[in-house]
Structures are given as C-alpha cells and as structure tokens.
Structure 1
Amino acid sequence: MKTLLAAALGALLLSGVAQADDCHQQLAAWIEMAHPSHAAGQMLEDERGRYRVDAERSTCKVWPARPHLTLLAALLVREENDDFGEADLQVLVLDNARQAFVARLVEPNRLDWDAIQVDELTFDTAPYRLRGDDLAFGVRISRRNSSRVNPFHEIRLHLYELDAQHLRPLLGELPVALFWGEWYTNCTGEFSETQGVVIITERVGNMGYRDLWLKNTRVERRMAPVDGECQTVEQSTHRYQLPIEYDEERYLLPIELASDPL
C-alpha cells in the first residue's frame, strides 16, 4: 500500500511539473494567438493605438483550482523612453481543451513605469474564496529600481473574478511587500522591509463579499561597521493590520495606504 501511495504521489507531482512546463513552453504560441503578427516583430494596433507585446515579461500558470484553465498575463507596451514608458496589463483565461480564450481584460496604463520599472509578473492562485464558494485569483506586479544607494522593490497584488466569459477586477494596487534603503554601499545605512499577508475573514460584507485584513510586519534596521564587520546596530519590528472592505464594485484600499504604502 505504501508503495502504491508513493507511486501515486510521484505521478501527481510529475503531472504538476509537466503542466507547469507545458504552460511556459506554449506561452509564445498563445501570445501569437492573442496578438497575430506579434512573432514577426511588427508593431500592432488596436482601439487604443499602436503597441507591442513584451513576451519576455509575460507569464502564465495553470489554475490549480480549475486545472482545465490556464491564466496568462501580458505587457502591452504603448510607449518606451530611456527613463519612462507606458504599458497596459492584459489578463487572459485559456480553455486548455479547446485552446481558446474564454475571457480577456485589458487594464490601461496599469504597468506604466519611470525610474521604478516592472520587472516581473506572477500569478497568485491561493484559494481566494471572497464570495460564497466563488474563487478569485491574483496577479502580483513586482517593481524595482536600479539604484545601489537607494534600492527600492515593491510587490502589489491585484485580484480578479471570472464570471462566465468576463474578468472583473476586485482589488487593485494592494502593496504586499516593500523594501527600501539608504546607504553608502559600504555597510552604513538604514533599511526597511515590510511583508503583508491577506487574510479572508468570515464576516460577509456588501454584495456578499467577505471582509479582508492586510496583516503587515515591518522590520527596520540600521547597519554600521563594528570591529571591521558589517553588523545590525539597531532593529525594530512593527506589526499592524488594516481592514479592506468591499464597496459597490470592488474592494477599497484602506485610507492609510494613500499616504503610506505599507
């Protein structure tokens, strides 16, 4: 029995790995399917104007809760300059069996950048049961700068709901990670790192959507050379949580995040 169980678990693990591999192996073909002529390197055009698809920073993931569906996220670059640019976020849902898109959503200017650039998109497929047994999924947008003296990195969470053949944004621009520092590249400096976790409560709020909490842990450090070694000379930890409630159309960010991102 133990041998059979181990074999079954091994098969499941290999199946999961194969699905993940298949997803990224087919990503280029799916982008071409969504944006014909992309592979030829041509500038494309839609109702918003000219754009190109940034395939390198686009991503995909088989939805574990609905393994017959694959989630895709693509950058549609509208304008590029040395220090800034404009880009839309496109989220797509693919029916694996039919190899057809069942839902598409474009969020204009969601991925605009200046000195702080978008460096990665990842899917968050934790079981976000926000209304009844309905499942939402997330896209995490990672941004960072290139400064060594003032390093900065943040991750913001966006949640979406698949309703028939429509994708609906439920939550946007929720900061779930933040790191920044000021130092002289020789140890001396100050650093702050915040990690946030989204908690789904049992309280049902407006339109049947459950209330959320953002639980944050912030660690602040001051570094300095001590006896020839770089050491933490001062450290403090702060824990706090912020409520997030559903309004008429989506979850509203806490007012505290308007002035203090984390």
Structure 2
Amino acid sequence: MNKRLLIALGGLLLASLAQADDCRQQLPTWIETAHPGHGAGQALEDERGHYRVDAERSICKVWPARPHLTLVAMPLIRAEHDGYGETDLEVLVLDNAKQRFVARLVEPDKLDWDAVYVEDMAFDTAPYRLRKEDIAFGVRISRSGSSRPNPFYETLLNLYQLDAQQLRPLLRELPVRKAWGEWDTNCAGEFAETRGLVVITERIGNKGYRDMRLKNTRTERRMAKIDDDCQVVEENTRRYELPIEYGEEHYLLPIELVSDPL
C-alpha cells in the first residue's frame, strides 16, 4: 500500500471519528430542540402525560447511506417504580445542514422494563435495501435479566423506513440474539444461545418489499464439575433459517418465533 493511499485512508478515518464526536457533542442541543425545557429541568408533558428524556441513554449516528442525515433515539421515561419502569422510544431523523428534524416517531412502551431491563441501545445502519432504492435502518435493543440462577439476555432488531417526512416501522422486535440458562450458580447447569443473521433475498414480495431470511445458529451446552473443574460435558449446535415476509403494513415475525420465542 503506497504512502498516498495510507494518508487518504487515515484522513477518512479521522473524518469519521470527528463526525461521530460531533454527533455526541451536539446531542444535548438536539434533545433540547426536540423537547424544549429539558435542559432547564422543566416538567415535560405531551398527549400521553408527563415524561422526562433519558439523556444518558440517548444515542445518535450519522446515517452512512444518507450522510446528510443523522439518526437520533431517545428514551422517554413515563414512570419509574421500585421493580419496573414505563418508557417510550422516540426515533428522529435530523437534517444536518438545516439542523432540524425531518421526521420523528414515538413508540409507546417500547422500552418498558421489570425483571428484564434495557441494557443497551444501538443503531444498525447496515444497508437494508428492502424496496427498490429505499434503504431502511435499524435500532437494536438489548435486555438482560436480573436473575443469577436463570440468566437471560436478548437483542431485538427493529427496522424503520424514512418515507417522505414520516418514519414507518417495517419490522418489530426480531430476536437476533438470545441467551438463557439454568444453573446452580457454581457450575452445574444448562445453557443455550441463539445468534441470528438477517439476509435480504432477491425475491420481491408483497408491495414490492424483498423477502428476508433469518439465519440462526443455536448452541446448547451442559456444564458439570468434574474433578473440581467446571467443564462442558455436552454441546450441540444446529443451524436453521426462518422466512421473514412483508404483510400488509410491515414485515411479519416468523411463526416459530411467535409461538416459541426461545
């Protein structure tokens, strides 16, 4: 690799990092723009009642497919109790040049939690080219369980389409990772994990949307203590695919996931 190419690649990397830093630095301003009074600590209220923006868990990312736009997601906390919470998810699209939101969508109760709480939230900007030249983007929401004897973790993928000045959900809560188990908190127990990869096919389905497939890999392990050493005594792995097709208004979860979510 020649020196000029190295310099060019280095410049692109620095520009990308600077852009990401700008996004995070401007996030407080964008939250205030979307929810006037937040920065001053004022009580916020809309048609659903009182709420506050969780600024610490809000995220943003420049959309690589449309770099003139930035994606923003904010948790809107409606209620907090000792053992559970009620939280909406607001997804917004910002015009970088005009510094104004061109689309926004609030999904009620999307981030509610109880014994299973929201651990992380991230944008998925893989090129989901689902209809002609339309490109969707995703929000991955990860949750963890609070039980040590029965560990649980999941990541759910949600896809959105920017249609004119509206955001439209295309796919809701597709499990792309699940891990769970039951053990004695020392060694002995059974564990399972499923990891999924979403693949867009060439087949054109309902209303011009391409079919997708979820390629899953499921691994099951049984652990036991042998000679004072915790070991895997049995392990099985299987791979399988599930179809994801567009219905009348959005993609439908495979029936296998609806009837047996694990």
Q: How does 1:135-214 map to 2 (within 5 A)?
A: 135-214=135-214
Please give the alpha-carbon distance, in whole angstroms, between the structure 2 residues aligned to 1:20 and 1:79: 31
* 8 Å Cα contact 1:57/1:119 also seen in 2: no
Aligned-pair identity (%): 71
Cα offset, 1:10, TM superposition: 0.5
Please give the alpha-carbon distance, in whole angstroms, between the structure 2 residues aligned to 1:40 and 1:117: 28
Please give the alpha-carbon distance, in whole angstroms, between the structure 1 residues aligned to 2:145 and 2:18: 34
Cα offset, 1:110, TM superposition: 1.2
SS of match in other structure, 2:58: strand
Displacement over 3 Å in runs of 4+: none
Please give the alpha-carbon distance, in whole angstroms, between the structure 2 residues aligned to 1:79 and 1:256: 33
Please give the alpha-carbon distance, in whole angstroms, between the structure 1 residues aligned to 2:177 and 2:136: 20
> Which amino acid letter does the alignment assign opposite residue 215 of structure 2?
K
Please give the alpha-carbon distance, in whole angstroms, between the structure 1 residues aligned to 2:29 and 2:119: 22
Cα offset, 1:79, TM superposition: 1.2
Please give the alpha-carbon distance, in whole angstroms, between the structure 2 residues aligned to 1:188 and 1:41: 50
Cα offset, 1:146, TM superposition: 2.1
For structure 2, list consecutive stretches of 5 or more residues without a partner in the other structure: none
Equivalenced residues, count: 262
Cα offset, 1:255, TM superposition: 1.2
For structure 1, list consecutive stretches of 5 or more residues without a partner in the other structure: none
Q: How does 1:238-253 map to 2 (within 5 A)?
A: 238-253=238-253
Cα offset, 1:74, TM superposition: 0.6
Please give the alpha-carbon distance, in whole angstroms, between the structure 2 residues aligned to 1:39 and 1:221: 49
Match of 2:255 in 1: 255
- Aligned-residue CA RMSD (Å): 1.1
Please give the alpha-carbon distance, in whole angstroms, between the structure 2 residues aligned to 1:39 and 1:148: 38
Please give the alpha-carbon distance, in whole angstroms, between the structure 2 residues aligned to 1:4 and 1:198: 37
- Report the TM-score when normalising by structure 1: 0.97
Please give the alpha-carbon distance, in whole angstroms, between the structure 2 residues aligned to 1:261 and 1:28: 37
Question: Quick check: 33-42 or 93-102, which moved more?
Answer: 33-42
- Report the TM-score when normalising by structure 2: 0.97
Match of 1:25 in 2: 25
> Which amino acid letter does the alignment assign opposite residue 170 of structure 2?
L
Cα offset, 1:148, TM superposition: 1.6
Cα offset, 1:254, TM superposition: 1.1
